[in-house]
Amino acid sequence: MSELNLVLLGPPGSGKGTQGERLQQDFRLPYYATGDILRAAVRDGTDLGRKAKEYMDRGDLVPDELMVDVIAERVATSDAADGFILDGFPRTTGQAEALDAKMEELGRELTAAVLIEVSDDEVVRRLGGRRTCVKEGHIFHVEFDPPKNEGVCDICGARLEIRDDDKPEVIRNRLDQYHQKTEPLVAYYEDKGILRRVDGAKPPDEVHDRIRAMLATLRMEEQL
């Protein structure tokens, strides 16, 4: 089976984490979510965490020079030899170019950049109701994907919390940052011929089925 090197693209709250968790189960590939990595670094009080926190609290992007090595190191490990799923990286043209350079150095290529498309209004509705598990980061929504017991993670039993950056004023800035700095990557990957669009407004199971079907088609095409 050929390797699967996947980038998940989309605005905040589009469902990258929700789908990333499912795709990780489907394909048994390492899943690297820069938001999760940064939040763990903040919790652990590492140098990266201390530097990143002020940007994250405002909903700004963390500078490229702090982010690039975080992912470059991970995609080069033996864990990622059969592929990987990236969520939240790249987020700027500089990060995308750095990833391309790393892939070239490794003699590999990205398979697809999957863009999960949702409107800004939907983003605001989703992030307002998101609940995240404090232990393992599993994701729920009070209305669209409620846990069986309120405030408790179905998967590991940990407490669910509201993320610090899910406050209305921070959500607005995260959306602005997405439109200014990350949206140009849609054209970037379109030009490379690897962009795949998915309607993220559908329910989570449908979005998941659609992405799986798309990846199966891609793999079949590769084998022709």
Catalytic residues: 16, 91, 130, 163, 174
CA proximity to 32, closest of 61, 65, 75: 75
Phi first, then psi, for residue 37 (nearest 5°) are -65, -40
Longest distance between any two alpha carbons in the chain, whole Å: 49
Q: Which is nearer to ligand AP5, 120 or 165 (CB)?
A: 165
Instruction: Look at the block and give the residue holding tokens 């030899």.
Output: 81
Residues comprising the chain, all counted: 224
| Ramachandran region, residue 15 (left: φ > 0; alpha: ψ -120 to 50; beta: rest) | left
Measured from the CB of residue 77, what is the shortest distance to ligand AP5 in angstroms? Answer: 18
Sole binder of ligand AP5 in the list 126, 138, 196, 210 (CB under 6 A): 126
- Pairing mode, strands 4-9 and 83-87: parallel
Phi first, then psi, for residue 171 (nearest 5°) are -60, -45
Angle (CA) 18 23 27, round 5°: 160
Measured from the CB of residue 223, what is the shortest distance to ligand AP5 in angstroms? Answer: 30
Q: Which is nearer to ligand AP5, 79 or 206 (CB)?
A: 206
144-166: burial string, b at 16+ Cβ within 10 Å, e else: ebebeeeeebeeeeeebeebebb
Sole binder of ligand AP5 in the list 24, 204, 212, 214 (CB under 6 A): 204
Measured from the CB of residue 127, what is the shortest distance to ligand AP5 in angstroms? Answer: 6
Sole binder of ligand AP5 in the list 29, 41, 48, 59 (CB under 6 A): 59
- Pairing mode, strands 83-87 and 195-199: unpaired
Residue with smallest beta-carbon separation from ligand AP5 = 35
Sole binder of ligand AP5 in the list 6, 17, 111, 196 (CB under 6 A): 17
34 binds ligand AP5, rule: CB under 6 A: yes
Sole binder of ligand AP5 in the list 9, 23, 56, 75 (CB under 6 A): 56
Contact residues: ligand AP5, CB under 6 A: 10, 12-18, 34-35, 38, 55-56, 59-62, 67, 88-89, 91, 95, 126, 129-130, 139-141, 144-145, 165, 174, 200, 203-204, 207
